[in-house]
Chains A and B, each alone.
Chain A
Amino acid sequence: MSAIPTPPSPASSTDDPLIRIRGLRTVLNGKTIFDGVDLDIPRGRITAIMGPSGTGKTTLMRHITGQRPPDAGEIVVDGRDMSRISREDLYALREKIGYLFQNSALLTDYSVFENVAFPLRQHLKLPEELVRNIVLTKLQAVGLRGAAELMPSELSGGMVRRVALARAIVRDPMLIIYDEPFVGLDPIALNQILRLIRTLNATLGITSILVAHELAAVRLVADQINLIAAGKIAAHGTPDQLARGETPWTRQFFSGESDGPVPFHYPAPDYASQLGLAAPPGGRRDVAAPRAATVHPSAAASALDGRAAPRDGGNA
């Protein structure tokens, strides 16, 4: 299967996907973030969600976890419709989801041990010895058993990320969401996190959603990639398929071209006239460079059709 610029195909829509999204539409502050997103997240696989900054990847995760209801469309997680879910059911569902925040979001007043033990203490009445054994097992898995008594402020960025990962898996969730797990990591920490993501998926069969920008890292772990752009799933397929860059979106995103369907420049007045070098013909003239999420309709349409997008970047 090549990079497919259409809604998810039956190949990606397994018989019983863990998450099924249909016709998702979201408007934030008057700006359309999603406009008819269809997406399936299969069970037991690592699915990467990629896309330019500001395309709503984190917003999509908020929809999936019930932190933000969509304006339209259907999101079904493990058989539960998120738009009709009760508060009790939502919290019960969240108990089965591990979420690795971009900035880790450790509780700063608690030690590493207490951070990892927090979900256990809040939801389960376990003997202290069992809590201790579970927490130390998870910390051992991320290589930080020796740091159990340290405070978050005493840890490096990579260690904080690993503690957050230990906390996310402490209750053996059915789904883990990694929100930008590779940002700011040195190569050693990056490799450790990659190995952990792959190991967790392989040994525990956990469904994983990986929100990231780093194609090289994502290619090592993801089973499939969904590329979000212009409010839709612009392409999806295996990492190798998308890396071939068969559509303008994938070509620009995976080769890092500064110009293409996603413009480099934010919409602005004419450059020369703003510098006082020349009067704009016919007065003020806006550069025809739309924002990534409000991309020019013709550019988005042609990109999704696999045709060459009009070159209307910000250097016009």
Chain B
Amino acid sequence: MSAVRKRSMLLDGIAQIGACGLFGLQVLGAIPRSLRYFRESVRQVWFVGAMSLTIIMTCGLFVGMVLGLQLYYVLSIFGGTAALGTVVSLSLYRELGPVVTALLFAGRAGTSMTAEIGLMRATDQIDAMEMMAVDPLAYVVAPRFIAGVIAMPILACVFNALGILGAHLVGVSWLGLDNGTFWSNMTSSVDVWKDVVNGVWKSVAFGAEVTLIATFQGYSTAPTSEGVAYATTRTVVFSSIVTLALDFVMTAFLM
């Protein structure tokens, strides 16, 4: 790859980040105007939240079961299996719950947002709204943004609950760890504000970030079938990268 092409790609990337940032400011500005479309926001919470429950619950359960199995094995080497509930819950509340939920959310809800808005753009529906004096940022984008910010922490909490249930199934029901030990160690070691609420804050940030990327990709897509396909792919790739990077930054500040 020539130096000129590399430089061009770098500049394009920086321009995209800048455009996404400006788009985010426009969306924030459109939120007050979108309050009149309250029903649309509720519909989006149902669509991106309730409709994502199946994948979130299933994955949460299996992630918890894998965590329970792996950690039981590691802890048994040191004779510390009693700490299984503590380690599993802290892992889920602080990191795995928010991050894995965000990654799943990007794949399940983010892609559908991008494809839906992208097709609306490709079929002139966005322009038609503009021409009918309906602000598409307030009617289409802002309700999805609000829905993402509301739905993500709830989904992360559900993920955490199912994860702990999965770890309990493996650790207590299968491998014979004492039920009381599992729960009492967990409740005595987990701090609501430091662990649970910090995880919720992360989820809120991830919800804003994933929905912003998804809606931006859809809103700015090339109005072709290939353009929508690329935009959908970019939503997953960029959301995943930004989620993990943001997780590191937030962890550093919230520790």
Q: Could you list which residues of chain A lie within 8 angstroms of chain B, going by C-beta atoms?
A: 65, 67, 91-92, 94-95, 97, 99, 101-103, 105-108, 118-119, 122-123, 167
Instruction: Say if the beta carbon of B76 comes within 8 Å of chain A.
Output: no
Cα A258 to Cα B130 with chains together (Å): 38
User: Of A91, A99, A108, A123, which is within 8 A of B123 by CB?
Assistant: A108
| Cβ-closest chain A residue relative to B126 | A105
> A67 to B124, Cβ gap below 8 A?
no
Question: Could you say which residues of chain B place their CB within 8 Å of the CB of A92?
Answer: 133
Question: Could you say which residues of chain A place their CB within 8 Å of the CB of B133?
Answer: 91-92, 94-95, 119, 122-123
User: Of B125, B135, B139, which is within 8 A of A105 by CB?
Assistant: B125
Annotate B114-130 by CB proximity to A: 1 below 8 A, 0 otherwise: 00000100011101101
| Cβ-closest chain B residue relative to A167 | B132
> B123 to A105, Cβ gap below 8 A?
yes
Question: Could you say which residues of chain A place their CB within 8 Å of the CB of B135?
Answer: 91
Question: Could you say which residues of chain B place their CB within 8 Å of the CB of A101?
Answer: 124, 127-128, 131
Cα A122 to Cα B133 with chains together (Å): 9
Smallest CB separation, B112 vs chain A (Å): 13
> A67 to B128, Cβ gap below 8 A?
no
Cα A91 to Cα B133 with chains together (Å): 5
User: Of B119, B124, B131, which is within 8 A of A94 by CB?
Assistant: B131
Given A94-B132, A105-B128, A119-B134, 15 new contacts (CB under 8 A): A65-B131, A92-B133, A97-B131, A99-B131, A101-B124, A101-B127, A101-B131, A102-B124, A105-B124, A105-B127, A106-B125, A119-B133, A122-B133, A123-B133, A167-B132
Cα A94 to Cα B128 with chains together (Å): 11
Cα A119 to Cα B133 with chains together (Å): 8
A sample of 25 cross-chain residue pairs with beta-carbon separation below 8 angstroms, ordered by A number, consists of A67-B131, A91-B135, A94-B131, A94-B132, A94-B133, A95-B132, A95-B133, A99-B128, A101-B124, A102-B124, A103-B123, A103-B124, A105-B127, A105-B128, A106-B125, A107-B125, A107-B128, A108-B125, A118-B132, A119-B133, A119-B134, A122-B133, A122-B134, A123-B133, A167-B132
Question: Could you say which residues of chain B place their CB within 8 Å of the CB of A105?
Answer: 123-125, 127-128
Contact residue range for chain B?
10 to 19
Most interface-central of B128, B132, B135, B139 (chain A CB within 10 A): B132
| Cβ-closest chain A residue relative to B36 | A122
Smallest CB separation, B184 vs chain A (Å): 51
8 smallest A-B Cβ distances: which pairs?
A105-B128, A105-B124, A99-B131, A91-B133, A94-B133, A95-B133, A119-B132, A101-B124
Annotate B132-144 by CB proximity to A: 1 below 8 A, 0 otherwise: 1111000100000
| Cβ-closest chain A residue relative to B132 | A119
Cα A92 to Cα B135 with chains together (Å): 12
| Cβ-closest chain B residue relative to A118 | B132
Question: Could you say which residues of chain B place their CB within 8 Å of the CB of A97?
Answer: 131
Smallest CB separation, A92 vs chain B (Å): 7
Most interface-central of B125, B127, B135 (chain A CB within 10 A): B125
Cα A94 to Cα B119 with chains together (Å): 23
Question: Could you say which residues of chain A place their CB within 8 Å of the CB of B119?
Answer: 108
Smallest CB separation, B34 vs chain A (Å): 12
Cα A97 to Cα B133 with chains together (Å): 9
Smallest CB separation, A286 vs chain B (Å): 26
Question: Could you say which residues of chain A place their CB within 8 Å of the CB of B131?
Answer: 65, 67, 94, 97, 99, 101
Cα A236 to Cα B127 with chains together (Å): 29
> A122 to B132, Cβ gap below 8 A?
yes
Smallest CB separation, B253 vs chain A (Å): 37
Question: Could you say which residues of chain B place their CB within 8 Å of the CB of A119?
Answer: 132-134
Question: Could you say which residues of chain A place their CB within 8 Å of the CB of B123?
Answer: 103, 105, 108
Most interface-central of A65, A105, A119, A123 (chain B CB within 10 A): A105
Cα A67 to Cα B130 with chains together (Å): 8
Question: Could you say which residues of chain B place their CB within 8 Å of the CB of A108?
Answer: 119, 123, 125
| Cβ-closest chain B residue relative to A179 | B124
Smallest CB separation, B129 vs chain A (Å): 8
Question: Could you say which residues of chain B place their CB within 8 Å of the CB of A122?
Answer: 132-134, 139
> A67 to B127, Cβ gap below 8 A?
yes
Cα A167 to Cα B133 with chains together (Å): 13
Smallest CB separation, A124 vs chain B (Å): 12
> B125 to A94, Cβ gap below 8 A?
no
| Cβ-closest chain A residue relative to B135 | A91
Question: Could you say which residues of chain B place their CB within 8 Å of the CB of A103?
Answer: 123-124
